[in-house]
């Protein structure tokens, strides 16, 4: 950038020039952002400095170049899983949307893996919400393995693993205190889903603000992803006291905006519940609570409970199946309702025949397959 004053670290306080640059309001280059986030993860910034930096970026408005730089810094320090199976996917929201919904993407992971899709689910404990993926899995009795070699073998053999972010991103611990203290969405929420330790190239990513749809997809494209849907659901009729921002999943509460990476191109489109043959429902219909409450709802869902939570999971699972290449729900830039409904039916089938529940039982047993696991074969 011509005329820009570049960030230059000093031995006395290497992060002070970063804060000085944030204070000017100018955007960071990819390299500058990578350096700044690298300093955070190397322990070279205090909690107060990290909080000031993250809020400075948010108030000014974060840029795609800054997101890419942050992701590069995180990926270069993560403990990665080698040799994931072809076609492995992740389904993950950024969190930070403020709606406190039941855990959708965690439930989707059980459903999609029951259909034979390898799922490398990346998640964390709640930092700006009530129950993150790791929280609800803990309440369900699912042990979270941390050894990368073991996880890699389980993903290749059993098609489903859950990766707790702290186990694979130990350097992120330096930012945890500041993120908890802020309690709001920061750029780290967006970085997390883009730094999957299994280096998946297919992802369904939820973001809480539609402005981030294309930056997220562009970042993943630049990092070599094959197929990505970034989604942001519109919340309508939510009532007083409910945040007006979007929800980080495909929703029944209104239209969902999508930025899709398909065959190297980024496509924008809209998906509505009726396209999938599902009824609309307000966001309050899937309001969650703490880990125990959310775990009970997820278990009931896998045991066959009907309602808006099931429908939301079916809708998101159908989109994940498209991302995994199990159907073609998007053609010529438009959603194909008939194909989307077929994918919804596939997802419903593995809930109703117990295959998705058996994936939870297997995960509880540390990967040992439950005897009743039919793996979505249609039995």
Is 201 known as a binding-site position? no
Is 280 known as a binding-site position? no
Is 2 known as a binding-site position? no
Is 13 known as a binding-site position? no
**Are 183 and 72 in contact, with CB atoms under 8 Å apart?**
no
Is 249 known as a binding-site position? yes
- Geometric angle at alpha carbon 259, from 257 and 265, rounded to 5°: 155
Is 146 known as a binding-site position? no
Q: Distance between CA atoms of 202 and 227, rounded to whole angstroms?
A: 5
Is 327 known as a binding-site position? no
Is 353 known as a binding-site position? no
Please report, to the nearest 10 degrees, the dihedral formed by the alpha carbons of residues 135, 137, 143, 145 taken in order: -80
Phi, psi dihedrals of residue 158, rounded to the nearest 5°: -120, 0
Is 326 known as a binding-site position? no
Is 138 known as a binding-site position? no
- DSSP secondary structure letter of residue 350: H
DSSP letter string over 6-71? -----SS-TTHHHHHHHHHTPPPPHHHHHHHHHHHHTT-S-HHHHHHHHHHHHHH---HHHHHHHH
Is 125 known as a binding-site position? yes
Is 375 known as a binding-site position? no
Please report, to the nearest 10 degrees, the dihedral formed by the alpha carbons of residues 368, 370, 376, 379 taken in order: 150
Alpha helices (H) in the chain, listed in sequence order: 16-24, 30-41, 47-60, 64-77, 104-113, 133-139, 148-158, 165-168, 173-182, 187-191, 213-222, 291-302, 308-323, 337-352, 355-364
**Are 230 and 156 in contact, with CB atoms under 8 Å apart?**
no
**Are 318 and 276 in contact, with CB atoms under 8 Å apart?**
yes
Is 102 known as a binding-site position? no
Is 303 known as a binding-site position? no
Is 219 known as a binding-site position? no
Residue 329, SS3 per DSSP: coil
Is 21 known as a binding-site position? no
Is 311 known as a binding-site position? no
Is 32 known as a binding-site position? no
Q: Distance between CA atoms of 169 and 110, rounded to whole angstroms?
A: 24
Is 167 known as a binding-site position? no
Residue 157, burial from CB neighbour count under 10 angstroms (0-12, 13-18, 19+): exposed
Residues within the annotated binding site for anthranilate? 93, 124, 179
User: Which residues participate in the annotated binding site for 5-phospho-alpha-D-ribose 1-diphosphate?
Assistant: 93, 96-97, 101, 103-106, 121-129, 133
Q: Which residues are annotated as a binding site for Mg(2+)?
A: 105, 248-249
**Annotated binding-site ranges:** 93, 96-97, 101, 103-106, 121-129, 133, 179, 248-249
């Amino acid at each position: 950038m011509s005329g820009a004053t570049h960030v230059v670290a000093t031995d006395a306080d290497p992060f002070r020039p970063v804060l000085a640059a944030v204070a000017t309001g100018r955007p960071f280059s990819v390299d500058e952002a990578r350096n700044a986030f690298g300093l955070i993860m190397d322990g070279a910034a205090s909690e107060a400095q990290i909080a000031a930096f993250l809020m400075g970026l948010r108030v000014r408005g974060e840029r795609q170049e800054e997101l890419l730089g942050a992701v590069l810094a995180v990926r270069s320090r993560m403990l990665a899983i080698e040799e994931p199976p072809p076609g492995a996917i992740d389904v993950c929201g950024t969190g930070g949307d403020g709606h406190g919904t039941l855990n959708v993407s965690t439930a989707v992971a059980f459903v999609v893996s029951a259909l034979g899709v390898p799922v490398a689910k990346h998640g964390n404990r709640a930092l700006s919400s009530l129950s993150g993926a790791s929280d609800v899995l803990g309440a369900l009795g699912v042990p979270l393995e941390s050894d990368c070699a073991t996880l890699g073998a389980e993903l290749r053999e059993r098609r489903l693993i859950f990766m707790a972010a702290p186990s694979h991103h130990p350097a992120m611990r330096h930012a945890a205190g500041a993120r908890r203290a802020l309690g709001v969405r920061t750029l780290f929420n967006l970085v997390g889903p883009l730094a999957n330790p299994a280096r998946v190239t297919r992802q369904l990513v939820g973001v809480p603000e539609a402005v981030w749809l294309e930056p997220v997809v562009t970042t993943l494209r630049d990092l070599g992803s094959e197929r990505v849907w970034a989604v942001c659901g519109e919340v309508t009729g939510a009532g007083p006291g409910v945040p007006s921002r979007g929800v980080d999943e495909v929703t029944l509460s209104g239209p969902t905006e999508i930025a899709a990476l398909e065959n190297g191109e980024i496509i924008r489109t809209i998906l509505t519940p009726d396209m999938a043959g599902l009824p609309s429902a307000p966001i309050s219909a899937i309001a969650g609570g703490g880990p125990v409450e959310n775990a009970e709802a997820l278990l009931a869902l896998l045991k066959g409970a009907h309602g808006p939570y099931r429908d939301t999971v079916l809708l998101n699972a159908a989109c994940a199946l498209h991302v995994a290449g199990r159907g073609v729900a998007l053609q010529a830039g438009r959603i194909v309702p008939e194909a989307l409904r077929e994918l919804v039916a596939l997802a419903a089938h593995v809930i109703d025949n117990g295959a998705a529940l058996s994936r939870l039982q297997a995960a509880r047993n540390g990967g040992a397959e439950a005897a009743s696991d039919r793996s979505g074969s249609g039995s």
